[in-house]
Amino acid sequence: MRVLVTGHLGYIGSVLAPMLLDLGHEVVGLDSGLFDGCDFGSFSEVPGLRLDLRDVEVEHLMGFDAVMHLAALSNDPLGNLDASLTYDINHLASVRLARLAKQAGVKRFIFSSSCSLYGAAGDTFLNETAGFNPVTAYGESKVLVERDVRPLADPEFSPTFLRNATAYGVSPRLRGDLVVNNLVGYAHTTGEVLIKSDGTPWRPLVHLRDIAAAFIAVLHAPRDLVHNQSFNVGSTLENYRISEVADIVREVVPGSRIIYAADGGPDLRCYRVDCGKIGRLLPEFKPRWTVRQGVEELYAAYKANGLTVDDLEGSRYIRLARIRELAADARIDASLRFRETAPAVLA
């Protein structure tokens, strides 16, 4: 199949796109390049367009069998920077992309949603029929995209919504602002497993390679199994309290000890999810990673790459810090668009 991957230079996209190529698919990426140079290891070469999601036109989407839409402002601190930008990019531009894809004759539209749309939900396991209670602009944007793209479904256009659990794991575009990656990073660089909340919130956790595998399983699945469906992506067994993750990190990273941030308190984001549906309907999807395996992978990679605490806290691996750096250098404007014209094609 010919597949367009938006955000192909991001945390998940930089892993997903090469996996698709290895399976024989023709892949084209689309990325604005906000995080160029924020590398952790080497990249696989994937042809792509350097284009802001908000500037996509129908001609960019012609000839594709599927669009895998990952591009977004990717976490809650970025949403807090300017919530209107999160809605502009994550919601409005995503719905516009789906409409243009339908107009261009794209058959499959696979959207990277998030379990964060469940928000403040407590201890009960939630399946895909559960109500939404997002507590951030990021989570709310995912609710709105699902709401507005779902009515576009028809016999010629088939959307699917993948509600990913909280991601972790090694990527060429590492994120240090994800909870597992962050806990391992602090343990390795400072000896302290730094918990920034009271440790009680529940989170479903999933390795980014398992997320990529879910996208591929949907792409390969018979249309009637995934048409206009939402799926929680992960494993039901991989729901943890943050304090439990910290215990795993302490056990894996020699000499580390758990501490709680002085200003840490309860986190409203608390949810456990049931991932049984994706396993029942898509037998190709078999999650292969546990949090412990991911912690071991991250620790080994951090050691091998000489990660320092300055790296962990700096603009290379913290998305909000990178945006602030680009703005301070006047390389982007208030709408997060580059001030200079960039090349149309990415290597």
Q: Where are the domains of the chain?
A: 2-174+206-237+271-289+330-346
A 10 A CB-CB count for 170 gives 20
| Burial of residue 150, with CB atoms counted within 10 A of its CB: 0-12 exposed, 13-18 middle, 19 or more buried | middle
Ordered mean pLDDT values, 10 residues apiece, the chain (347 residues): 97 98 98 94 90 97 98 73 89 98 98 95 94 93 98 98 98 96 98 92 97 98 98 98 97 97 81 96 96 98 96 93 92 90 48
* Architecture (CATH level 2) of domain 2-174+206-237+271-289+330-346: 3-Layer(aba) Sandwich (3.40)
pLDDT at site 269:
85
Q: How far apart are CA 191 and CA 194, in angstroms?
A: 9
Cα angle 136, 138, 140; round to 5: 70
CA nearest to 206, candidates 176, 225, 181: 181
CB-CB contact of 114 with 142 (8 Å): yes
Residue with tokens 């028809």: 154
273 by DSSP, 3-state: which? strand
* Residue % of the chain over a pLDDT of 90: 87
Q: How far apart are CA 114 and CA 165, in angstroms?
A: 6
Q: How many residues are listed for the chain in this entry?
A: 347
CB-CB contact of 141 with 76 (8 Å): no
pLDDT at site 346:
45
pLDDT at site 75:
66
Bridging pattern class, strands 257-265 and 229-233: unpaired
- pTM for the model: 0.95
